[in-house]
Amino acid sequence: MFNKVALTIGLILGVIAVVMVNVHVSRIKKQQEAVKILRVNKLIKKGEMPESRLDTVSVPQDFATGLETAVEDKDRRLVSNRPVNAEIKEGTFLLWSHFEGGGRTVERAIMEVLTKGKRAMSIPVTHAGAVSGWIRPGDYVDVLGTFTTSDRDGNSRISTMTIQQSMRVLAVGGKTDYAEEIVRGRAGDRGYETVVLEVTPHEAEVMTFALHQGGQLTLSLRRQDDHATAEIPKVNWDNFTAQRPGGMTR
């Protein structure tokens, strides 16, 4: 009996030892995981673009925690053709602060202002559908959709409905060089074909469904301090006259 108990205890201790070793090895591997960041391999003068003067360097993850502002290799395409704001010597790690506007690209700026738990979603818009281009980052909009459906008899019906209300605009278009210009709304060209909105996961599903119905989306601009929502009935030819204030009279 004693031998059986001792054997059982030995097996249990052996399993525990194996688990602890695996945990320790996993921790060491995680600590030694490399992060690929960019390093300048040739002097870059102020106003010049890095282009091909960048090498990729792998550094341990623990060391990389002290280089939070370093540009990673995955972002190479975002910085290769952007002029730097100061001279960068050979052997220097490339930092986001080496670029005008803090080097904050549109993608990086969106991630910084995105509310925790929400998502950034891009939707296509026309010039007229985006309030003639007057929508700017930080604005709030309602999203309306016009769709063609069929009734039970197979007849086509056009309906317009409010899909989402009080949606925050994160970015407009993708033509502005630096995120600072987008965040502050200083883009010179008001023509753009996309608007990036902040949405919840459920709102993202609703918007995606609406986009795949082949309809046209329109944005209506709200006051900055107006975030009220309300039940708004959809409009079609059956209720168009009744929906208009005062009917058809002006």
pLDDT at 144: 93
C-alpha 150/C-alpha 51 separation (Å) is 54
C-alpha 37/C-alpha 59 separation (Å) is 8
The highest-level CATH class for domain 34-101 is: alpha beta
Please count the other Cβ atoms lying within 10 Å of the Cβ belonging to residue 144. 22
pLDDT at 117: 92
pTM higher than 0.75, yes or no? no
Comparing 84 with 190, the larger pLDDT belongs to 84
C-alpha 163/C-alpha 128 separation (Å) is 18
pLDDT in tens, 107-123: 666 776 788 899 999 88
Is residue 3 very low, low, confident or very high in pLDDT (cuts 50, 70, 90)? low
Q: What is the mean pLDDT of the chain?
A: 77
193, pLDDT greater than 50: yes
Task: Calculate the CA 161 to chain-centre distance.
Answer: 26
CB burial readout 70-101, b (16+ within 10 A) else e: bbeeebeebbeebebeeebeeeebbbbebbeb
Q: Average the pLDDT over 171-183 and give the result.
A: 49
Which residues are registered as beta bridge partners of 164?
143
178, pLDDT greater than 60: no
With a CB cutoff of 8 Å and minimum separation 6, the contacts of 229 are 165, 166
DSSP the chain: -HHHHHHHHHHHHHHHHHHHHHHHHHHHHHHT-EEEEEEESS-B-TT---TT-EEEEEEEHHHHTT-TTBPBGGGHHHHTTS-BSS-B-TTPBPBGGGBGGGG--HHHHHHHHSPTT-EEEEEE--TGGGGGGT--TT-EEEEEEEEEEE-TTS-EEEEEEEEEEEEEEEEE-S--SSHHHHHTT--S----SEEEEEE-HHHHHHHHHHHTTT-EEEEEE--TT---------B-TTTHHHHSTTTT--
pLDDT over 90 percentage in the chain: 23
C-alpha 207/C-alpha 212 separation (Å) is 9
Contacts of 15-23 with CB under 8 Å at 24 or more apart are none
pLDDT in tens, 122-149: 888 877 666 777 788 888 999 999 988 7
Q: Average the pLDDT over 19-25 and give the result.
A: 62
pLDDT in tens, 208-224: 999 888 878 899 999 98
Q: Kindly list the domain boundaries of the chain, sorted by start residue.
A: 34-101, 107-243
Comparing 47 with 164, the larger pLDDT belongs to 164
